Amino acid sequence: MLWKHQHDRDVMTLLNTMQLSSSLSFFRAGYESVDIIKIMQL
């Protein structure tokens, strides 16, 4: 029972980490496209 709880917590941690990294890459892509727009406007 304790092991299952530990496993569930590990899965949640993994999901949170994946969500965080995908959010970071999403923000990074957003910043890059903003830079491209700025360059195009110059």
Cα angle value 35/39/40 (rounded, 5°): 115
DSSP letters along 6-42, please?
Answer: HHHHHHHHHHHHHHHHHHHHHHHHHHHHHHHHHHHH-
Q: What is the pLDDT of residue 32?
A: 80
Q: Which amino acid makes up residue 3?
A: W
Does the pTM exceed 0.75? Answer: no
**Residue 3: predicted pLDDT:** 64
Give residue-wise pLDDT tens across range 1-42: 566 778 888 888 988 888 888 887 878 888 888 887 788 886
